[in-house]
Amino acid sequence: MADTDKHQGGDIKTILAEKRLDDDIEFRQERIKTVGRGDVERALSEPAGSYGKEKLLALVSPAAEGYIEQMAQLAHQLTLQRFGRTIRLYAPLYLSNFCVNDCVYCGFNREHHFDRIRLSVEQAVAEADIIASEGFRDILLVSSEDRDFVSVDYLAELARKLREKFCCISVEVYQMSEAEYARLFAAGIEGVTLYQETYRRDKYSHYHPGGPKADYDVRLGGLDCVAAAGMREVGLGVLLGLADWRVETLALAEHAHYLMKRYWQSHVSISFPRLRPARDVERSQFKYLLTDRNLVQMMLALRLCFADVGLVLSTRERAELRDHLVKLGITKMSAGSKTNPGGYSGRTGAVEQFEIDDTRTPAEIAEMLKSQGLEPVWKDWDEAFIES
């Protein structure tokens, strides 16, 4: 793992510390409270899609809540201009629910007792065949931290077997070194999603009491390794509900801005996972749960600061809310998701990482998008683009 140290925190660690976004955040919280209507109106008068720290601070403030409709109109217009009427569709494929971490919020926590499941490469290919039969050409390989089984060799072999069926293969697994990500890229994996979960150091330690993921600084440097390895897609986000969403948005934006400046060859996307019920996880312990209106404000604020960032929405959200959000800056969404290994074939009855909320089929999601004048995109990339 020596390559991981090469990018351990790096500049983003310094940026967050200097701007007091990773610790001692009371300063930022008090600053947000001082924002007035005039500050919000000035922020909205700036070019849509341009990033500024004070602009974003104004747009996530309580004072901006009265401007949600105006923000929505501007975000919709900007997204149409930059992305057209398209929404990319993808499906997650869970490979294992064995884990070596103690993440408090996760159903796969190593301290939880249940029959764990791992998919062989052949079983994973069979699950992927079901996903492909539903129309998907964009697949996200997901696993708990199970390096002994879901190894780099396993993922590379699986990717090689899936390349004929899928034009875009991404992973959301344990953190790797730059050299390991480069091996995956060579095998046909073009995207990596790696959530910091929370940028608050004290909260991060609380929610990650043990396991390899417990090191905040190593985690923070992970996306440097991803981008330096040449990955085409770099996905980041926070688990919404672990800390104050307004300050988390400011830290998340700084991280995205840093990645875009330093690794211009990679496309950055931001996801918005909200805490969902999970096995043996007590929901009452989480004191920062977002309302739907909070989520909308966060999405709109980020779109109005980042014109070309992808905004990703999963089936964690209920159907009615997703139907409304697709015109507010979203560019990619999952459909028909299963969050347990073997979930698509229904053979295993394995424990889920969390409960999804939107249970509609991929075909139903595609019809919903068409009914709103949007175009569901199952495939938007092909290796032939590189070869040509």
pLDDT band of 281, cuts 50, 70, 90: confident
Region 236-255: what's the mean pLDDT?
97
The CATH number given to whatever domain includes residue 66 is 3.20.20.70
- The whole-number pLDDT of residue 131 equals 97
Please spell the DSSP secondary structure of 315-361, one letter per residue: TTS-HHHHHHHTTTT--EEE-S---STTTTTT-S-PPPSS--S----
pLDDT digits (tens, 9 = 90+) for 209-239: 999 999 999 999 999 999 999 999 999 999 9
Number of domains, the chain: 1
pLDDT band of 8, cuts 50, 70, 90: very low
In the DSSP assignment, the letter for residue 63 is: G
Task: At 201, list the tokens.
Answer: 């150091």
Task: At 73, list the tokens.
Answer: 């109109």
Strands 332-334 and 191-193: unpaired
pLDDT digits (tens, 9 = 90+) for 89-99: 999 999 999 99
Are 258 and 12 in contact, with CB atoms under 8 Å apart?
Answer: yes
**Closest Cα to residue 16, out of 243, 254, 224, 263?**
254
Half-sphere exposure of 335 (CA within 13 A, CB side): 28
- The whole-number pLDDT of residue 329 equals 96
d(CA 215, CA 21): 17
Flag whether pLDDT at 4 surpasses 50: no
pLDDT band of 366, cuts 50, 70, 90: very high
- The whole-number pLDDT of residue 385 equals 44
Evaluate the CA torsion angle 379, 384, 385, 386 in order and state its sign: positive
Q: What rounded mean pLDDT belongs to the chain?
A: 93
Give the amino acid at 78: L
Cβ-based neighbour number of residue 52 at 10 Å = 15
Are 3 and 178 in contact, with CB atoms under 8 Å apart?
Answer: yes
In the DSSP assignment, the letter for residue 174 is: S
- The whole-number pLDDT of residue 27 equals 87
Residue with the larger pLDDT of the pair 355 and 210? 210
Question: Residue written as tokens 């993921």?
Answer: 213
Region 96-122: what's the mean pLDDT?
93
pLDDT band of 356, cuts 50, 70, 90: confident
pLDDT band of 382, cuts 50, 70, 90: low
Question: Residue written as tokens 């595609």?
Answer: 366
Percent of the chain with pLDDT over 90: 86
- The whole-number pLDDT of residue 348 equals 64
SS3 percent helix, strand, coil of the chain, rounded to 5, is 45, 10, 45
pLDDT band of 3, cuts 50, 70, 90: very low
Residue 316 main-chain phi, psi, to 5 deg: -60, -30
29-33, 70-74, 300-304: segment of lowest average pLDDT? 29-33
- The whole-number pLDDT of residue 177 equals 98
Domain that holds residue 306: 2-387
pLDDT digits (tens, 9 = 90+) for 154-191: 999 999 999 999 999 999 999 999 999 999 999 999 99
Residue with the larger pLDDT of the pair 387 and 319? 319
pLDDT band of 353, cuts 50, 70, 90: confident
- The whole-number pLDDT of residue 388 equals 41
pLDDT digits (tens, 9 = 90+) for 53-63: 999 999 999 99
- The whole-number pLDDT of residue 90 equals 97
